[in-house]
Amino acid sequence: MRQIVLDTETTGIDPAEGHRIIEIGCVEMMERQLTGRNYHVYINPEREVEAEAITIHGITNEFLLDKPKFAAVADEFFEFIKGAELVIHNAAFDIGFMDSEFARVKPVRKTADHCGVVDSLALARAKHPGQKNNLNALCKRYGVDNSNRELHGALLDAEILAEVYLLLTGGQTALSLDAGSESAGGSGGLRRLNSDRPELAIIKATEAENEAHQAFMATLEQKAGGTVWSKLEGAE
């Protein structure tokens, strides 16, 4: 399965009011493993970024002046996501903006016609009802490091969301017999041990420890009126 964890930053909150995408960040996963292939671009929105939005993501109008317009990146962006399952936190927001942008260029495309969509916010709400389920809250809940997230950023948020999503939907996702391999969830996989490794020490109980154990079991047997261990020993 090919999945793309995706996030966008925008000039405002409603594409119906003419707001536009200014940043796209995508992280690719195959079979729930990060591939290292990312897609990231800043976009000139051809309009002003709202001051309130700038306080969230820190992307200024001046910074975007020399960036490409969406029409110039639409094809490469579409080719990157086409046929994949998109993992998006609050998917309706990003998909609404993407469809609005795709509607401005030829050929007109609708995201859901070419991609599957998974809303990680809906998954989190179903798993943790009545709790905060924004990305910061989920990072805290699952122990994901988001210390670099002082401002929202599409690529950084997509990378963080990828780790959160894997933990949210099952934690460690794969076991590998390759030495040094790691699962996409951040946990180490199985490793082969060298055949010439030192043998593990076998530590046996001392006579005194055996006597103390037998005394404890006798007391437990008397108080409980029989134990599983005594029945097993009697069956041998």
Q: Which residues are catalytic?
A: 152
Which residues face 44 on adjacent strands? 69
Is residue 143 a contact partner of residue 12, using CB atoms and an 8 Å limit?
no
Please tell me the distance from the alpha carbon of residue 190 to that of residue 182, in angstroms, as a whole number. Answer: 8
Q: Which amino acid is at 195?
A: S
**Under a CB-based contact definition with an 8 Å cutoff, are residues 39 and 23 in contact?**
no
How far apart, in whole angstroms, are the C-alpha atoms of residue 151 and residue 171?
A: 26
- Position of tokens 């910074």? 63
Pairing of strands 2-10, 21-30: antiparallel
Which amino acid is present at 100? S
CA nearest 8: which of 22, 29, 27?
A: 22
Residue 199 DSSP class:
P
Positive/negative CA dihedral, 163, 128, 147, 13 = positive
- Structure-token pair, residue 106: 């030829």
Please give the backbone phi and psi of residue 147, each rounded to the nearest 5 degrees, phi first: -65, -20
